[in-house]
Amino acid sequence: MITIRDAETGEVILQVEPVDLPGKSLEGVRLANCDFTDLDLSRVVLSYSSLRQVNFRGAALSNATLNNTFMVNVTFDSAIMESADLSETTISHGTFRNATLRNAKMRYVKITKGDLTGADLRGANLSMAVIEGDLTGANLSNADLQGADLRAATIDRANFDGAKLANAQLIGECMTTFHAKLARVAAGLTQPAGPTKYPRRWWQPWR
């Protein structure tokens, strides 16, 4: 039996067997110093919640709903978070090392002091997101980064194949020359080509 208490009042929020956790609604809870390591939390609802010092290492959070949530010192290392919804969530000092976030919804997410080293973000929607942290080795292929701000992110060896980068801000000290050129091309920031040159005809001496 797992007992979940409110972080401030100590009130018991939920007592549940681990096998009954998937799909549970915990919307608006305040959790601190909780350990959900390796638990199945798929489809769990944690919207509009406050999470501090919460450990989700290795947990299954596929299709979980965590939008509009405030998180501090949370750990999602190696968690399975396919198609999870973290839209408009604020995360400070969160770690997602080697986490699976394929097709996750992360529009307007704000991550500061984050560690997403080796994270799988293929197909994730990160449009308008602000990420300050480490994306070394992360896989962002086919991700939507339109309007995102990654200027304070380290993206060494990150994979951006097929990513949507229109209006994204990626030019920072963390970028190699190649990454900077790639970002400019993908975001449509290259200089437009000059006027097309056509061969002058004998009857067009003015050209």
Q: Which CATH number is 41's domain given?
A: 2.160.20.80
- Provide the residue range defining the domain that includes 132: 22-188
Q: Report percent pLDDT > 90 for the chain.
A: 67
pLDDT beneath 70: ranges in the chain: 6-7, 171-207
pLDDT at residue 34 in the model: 87
12 within domain boundaries: no
52 within domain boundaries: yes
pLDDT at residue 177 in the model: 47
Q: Is the pTM of this model over 0.75?
A: yes
Contact (Cβ atoms closer than 8 angstroms) between residue 157 and residue 137: yes
83 within domain boundaries: yes
Give the count of domains, the chain: 1
13 within domain boundaries: no
pLDDT at residue 180 in the model: 53
pLDDT at residue 20 in the model: 80
pLDDT at residue 3 in the model: 76
**Interval 78-104: pLDDT, tens:** 999 999 999 999 999 999 999 999 999
